Amino acid sequence: MMTYRIVIFLLVIFSIQKIFGKQCLNDQWPPKSDRIVPTHVVNLDLPPVERWKEIATIYKPAIIDLVDYIKQFALSISPELQFLVSLVDTKLPAMADTLPAPYGDELKGISHTTGIPLGEIVLYNIFYEIFTLCTSIVAEDQNGNILHGRNLDFGLLLGWDMLNNTWTLSEKLRPLITQVNFTQHGQVLFKTTSFAGYIGVITGVRPGIFSISMNERYGFKGGYIGLIEWIFNINRNQSFVTFAMRDMLTTSESYNQAVEYLTKIKLTAPCYYILAGPKSKQGVIITRSRYEADDIKQLGNDNLWFLIETNYDNWKKPPVFDDRITPCIECMKTKGKNQVTFESLFNVFSSRPMLNKLTVYTALMEPATGRLESYYQYCRDEDAPCAPW
């Protein structure tokens, strides 16, 4: 009962903060040098077990800290969740062998390099399927150039630090953020903004072809169902949403091919795929259920020069306790079509409530050139009231 009351109290406070915490800033660019996310390389010409060795070695302590926290947090909620923690040791190691190549071997390589049990590495690579909040924008300027950006918000309800007014998991994730350039035959095949040792893709760009971001979609048959079906071999005729993105970045040779692939593939979880191409009007939000696309919204509909997606179906009114899309639309319209730049988008993403306590990074992409810039994000209360989500 006490937990229920706390949740209700927080919802009221957070809703008030949402109402009074709207901004449309103009002075956040350029970010300071210490906000720039480091870049590493994964060489796809190497055997899968060797590809993540350098990254896994560098970030080993932070990965251990994060996985330990997830397990301890589950137990702190209720000792009865011990059975879930036990799955990490009993079921998840074997899951690596059920994943399509090259993912299982890559996970084994990370486990071997770090000494972290394989089940914990699998856990680290699947919990992004079900705990992500985001804001993604695709916009076209007056010359037909397309830019694509996103805020990644992560860690909702996974431990609130009352002393520092932060989400504990979000703070533990930030040191793991890295840009990863995937190379093949000595050339960059695609670039991503991700977490060290996480082999799927949440944000990525294939230079000259397309860019993509994924936002979680809440629904009845969500990620939990797909994970259970996969772990217990009920249904493996589906793809993890972030592995599907990496497959598409690896194999798709055109924007249209990428859109078709992500429209049709069966998935373990519902989600929103937001894609942009190098040409005018090449932008789309694909609203996915697990087995099909429920909606496809094209850039240019309703004479709008931008698309915005958060975590709710874009043809419906967002919930009052988490309306990021309305102030985001207002801010984009204020800036106008003549201000579609990295600077302008970064200012939008740095404005509340698009920026909140869950926000860990902002990524900015230009599909035509393959330009990708990623920055650590922080929402600090001393600047202005900051909503926890």
Give strand pairing partners of 296. 286
Query: For 79-88, 171-180, 183-192, 286-295, which range has the lowest pLDDT when averaged over its residues?
Result: 79-88
Position with higher pLDDT, 133 vs 332: 332
The predicted pLDDT at position 129 comes to 67
Query: Could you tell me if residue 42 is inside a domain?
Result: yes
Position with higher pLDDT, 90 vs 125: 125
Query: Could you tell me if residue 54 is inside a domain?
Result: no
Q: Are 262 and 253 in contact (CB under 8 A)?
A: no
Query: Could you tell me if residue 184 is inside a domain?
Result: yes
Position with higher pLDDT, 218 vs 142: 142
pLDDT, tens digit, 9 for 90 and up, residues 352-363: 999 999 999 999
Q: Are 146 and 282 in contact (CB under 8 A)?
A: yes
The predicted pLDDT at position 86 comes to 76
The predicted pLDDT at position 221 comes to 61
The predicted pLDDT at position 49 comes to 98
Q: Is the pLDDT of residue 242 over 60?
A: yes
Structural domain that includes position 306: 2-46+132-376
Mean pLDDT for all residues in the chain:
90
Q: Is the pLDDT of residue 93 over 60?
A: yes
pLDDT, tens digit, 9 for 90 and up, residues 38-65: 999 999 999 999 999 999 999 999 999 9
Q: Is 150 helix (H, G, I), strand (E, B) or coil?
A: strand
The predicted pLDDT at position 10 comes to 54
- The DSSP-derived string for 282-334 is -EEEEEE-SSSEEEEEETTGGG-SEEEE-SS-TTSPPPGGG--HHHHHHHHHH
Query: Could you tell me if residue 156 is inside a domain?
Result: yes
Please give the average per-residue pLDDT across 60-71, as a whole number. Answer: 91
pLDDT tier, 80 (very low <50, low <70, confident <90, very high otherwise): low
Straight-line distance from the first to the last Cα atom of the chain, in angstroms, rounded to the nearest whole number: 23
Query: Could you tell me if residue 64 is inside a domain?
Result: no
Q: Is the pLDDT of residue 1 over 50?
A: no
Domain count along the chain: 1
CATH number, residue 309? 3.60.60.10
Q: Are 169 and 365 in contact (CB under 8 A)?
A: no
Q: Which of 134, 328, 379, 386 is catalytic?
A: 134
**pTM of the predicted protein model:** 0.92
Please give the average per-residue pLDDT across 247-264, as a whole number. Answer: 98
Please give the average per-residue pLDDT across 77-83, as a whole number. Answer: 61
Known catalytic residue at 134? yes
pLDDT tier, 72 (very low <50, low <70, confident <90, very high otherwise): confident
Query: Could you tell me if residue 90 is inside a domain?
Result: no
Q: Is the pLDDT of residue 81 over 70?
A: no
- Alpha-carbon dihedral 342, 347, 350, 352, rounded to 10 degrees: -140
- The DSSP-derived string for 333-357 is HHH-GGG-SHHHHHHHHTSTTTS-T
Please give the average per-residue pLDDT across 18-35, as a whole number. Answer: 87
pLDDT tier, 334 (very low <50, low <70, confident <90, very high otherwise): very high
The predicted pLDDT at position 219 comes to 63
The predicted pLDDT at position 227 comes to 80
pLDDT tier, 11 (very low <50, low <70, confident <90, very high otherwise): low
Q: What percent of the chain has pLDDT over 90?
A: 72
pLDDT tier, 154 (very low <50, low <70, confident <90, very high otherwise): confident
pLDDT, tens digit, 9 for 90 and up, residues 114-138: 999 999 999 889 877 666 779 999 9
Q: What percent of the chain has pLDDT over 70?
A: 89
Q: Are 74 and 214 in contact (CB under 8 A)?
A: no
Please give the average per-residue pLDDT across 100-113, as a whole number. Answer: 97
Please give the average per-residue pLDDT across 199-219, as a whole number. Answer: 94
Query: Could you tell me if residue 113 is inside a domain?
Result: no
Q: What is the β-pairing status of strands 306-309 and 359-366?
A: unpaired
Q: Is the pLDDT of residue 159 over 90?
A: no
Query: Could you tell me if residue 183 is inside a domain?
Result: yes
Q: Are 203 and 191 in contact (CB under 8 A)?
A: no
Among 71-75, 124-128, 295-299, top mean pLDDT goes to 295-299
